[in-house]
Structure formats: structure tokens, C-alpha cells
Amino acid sequence: MRRAGSLMIAVALCAGLFAWTSRVQAGGRAERKLVNNVPAVYPEIAKRYHIRGLVKLEVVVRADGSVKSAKVLGGSPLLIDSAAEAVRKWKFEPASQETVEDVQLRFGE
């Protein structure tokens, strides 16, 4: 048990090393209006160790506005799951077809 706790502390302290993964964004991304967003939960371990940052996601939105999938593009390993879980519950305005949205969630500010 003590070893697992030490591992979590090491991950939290090193998270800043992995906080940013850059990606060139393709032009012409759709920008559908967000109708309902569920806020992401700031994980307790991230709060405890003052881990802050931005999580970037590529979200595929169905024609009806529901989220089909969320692909992580970058962010702290301690924040990614919370961000992706929240975004999967979001609802966008309906459109004639699926679109891909670039989404960013900021934690700790």
C-alpha cells in the first residue's frame, strides 16, 4: 500500500513533464454551439498536489448533438480521465451531419 502511495505522489509530481502534448490542428474545424455541458470534476489527487493545466480533446459529435467519442490530444495524466468523462456527457446543437470539435478544459484556475 505504501508503495502505491509513493507511486501516485511520483506521478503527481512528474505530471508537469507530460502536461502539454502539442498537435497541429487542421483548419476548417466545425464550431457547433454547446447546449449543455457537464462540468469536469477536479480530481482530489490533482487538487492535493496543485496540479493545474489544460486538457485538449478532439470530440466527434453526432448529428443529434450527442458526443460519439472523445480523443485525448494532451494534458496532465491526472486530469485527462475527468475531462473526457465530462465531455462525453455534453450536448451540442443538432446539425445535418457528424462534426469534429476541438475542446479544451482548464483545471485549477
- The CATH number that applies at residue 36 is 3.30.2420.10
| Model pLDDT for residues 3-48, shown as the tens digit of each residue | 444 434 444 434 333 333 223 233 335 688 999 999 999 999 999 9
The answer to whether residue 71 scores a pLDDT higher than 90 is: yes
**Residues in Cβ contact with 9 at an 8 Å cutoff, skipping those fewer than 6 apart:** 49
Number of domains in the chain: 1
pLDDT of residue 108: 84
Which amino acid is it at 79? L
Per the structure, the complete domain to which residue 19 belongs is given by 2-107
Of 19 and 106, more confident: 106
Mean pLDDT rounded to a whole number for the chain: 79
